[in-house]
């Protein structure tokens, strides 16, 4: 009897060990962080090529050509510059983060053989700075003192960050609105303007979560955890694809 009683917990421990290792592996892979790489598909969406399986495969790095490698090299240089210098410099730290997202978009455009328009570069850069500034704000107002490994935080104040966030929010909405009005080639009105409310709602919803819910320190968790924001993003992408396919 005692042997059977002792082997049951042992067997349970043996079965739980692989599951624990699997959870540890998944945790180390940080799947929530993968959401930021979805931005490489931005050029695919806004070029109206979502229905092209060949281009979809190219955008996913199924094939890495010379130009993609060149963009990847630029990304690596930027990351090294950020790691060893830029992360210590106020304002330049968030601009470097935004630059990384811009290069992701450029890589996606180069991979499918289209030119990344100034509009998509501008909007990507502004949106990335919006997220980076909010992350800095959450770090600054959090309980933990992060100035030891984020020296640039010592040069930020909550008022300064809120001022920059307000400026970037307005600039993002205006820039995206101008894109919807001016990026089309024909003379008739661009129906992409119907997507402006989705962009505005997404930004304001994010600010709501930051100021009233205390979130924003981990953008990837908001992007996969807030249902209204997820619905807004899905609708934005779906309507954009529909409009571009009918254009």
What 3-state DSSP class applies to 85?
Answer: coil
pLDDT at 247: 67
Residue closest to 213 by CA, chosen among 199, 228, 200, 198? 228
Q: How confident is the model at residue 24 (pLDDT cuts 50, 70, 90)?
A: very low
Is the pLDDT at 197 greater than 60, yes or no?
Answer: yes
Higher pLDDT, 39 or 210: 210
Per-residue pLDDT of 103-146, as tens digits, reads 998 888 887 777 888 898 999 999 999 999 999 999 888 867 77
pLDDT at 217: 75
Share the mean pLDDT of the chain: 81
Is the pLDDT at 200 greater than 60, yes or no?
Answer: yes
Per-residue pLDDT of 26-68, as tens digits, reads 444 455 555 566 776 676 777 666 666 666 666 657 556 788 8
Question: In terms of C-beta density within 10 A (0-12 exposed, 13-18 middle, 19 or more buried), how is residue 128 classed?
Answer: buried
Is 0.85 surpassed by the pTM of this model?
Answer: no
């Amino acid at each position: 009897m005692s042997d059977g009683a002792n082997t049951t917990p042992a067997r349970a421990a043996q079965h739980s060990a692989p599951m624990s290792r699997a959870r540890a592996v998944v945790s180390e892979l940080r799947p929530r962080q993968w959401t930021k790489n979805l931005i490489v598909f931005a050029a695919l969406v806004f070029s109206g090529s979502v229905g092209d399986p060949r281009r979809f495969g190219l955008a996913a790095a199924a094939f890495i050509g010379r130009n993609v490698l060149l963009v990847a090299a630029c990304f690596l240089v930027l990351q090294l510059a950020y790691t060893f210098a830029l992360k210590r410099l106020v304002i330049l730290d968030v601009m470097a983060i935004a630059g990384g997202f811009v290069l992701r978009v450029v890589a996606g455009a180069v991979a499918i053989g289209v030119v990344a328009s100034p509009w998509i570069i501008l909007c990507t850069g502004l949106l990335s700075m919006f997220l980076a500034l909010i992350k800095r704000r959450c770090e600054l107002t959090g309980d933990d003192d992060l100035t030891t490994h984020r020296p640039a935080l010592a040069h930020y104040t909550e008022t300064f960050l809120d001022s920059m966030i307000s400026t970037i929010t307005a600039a993002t909405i205006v820039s995206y609105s101008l894109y919807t009005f001016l990026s089309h080639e024909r003379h008739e009105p661009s129906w992409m303007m119907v997507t402006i409310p989705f962009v505005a709602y997404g930004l304001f919803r994010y600010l709501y979560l930051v100021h009233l819910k205390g979130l924003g320190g981990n953008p990837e968790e908001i992007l996969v955890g807030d249902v209204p924001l997820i619905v807004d993003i899905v609708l934005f992408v779906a309507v954009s694809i529909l409009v571009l396919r009918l254009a």
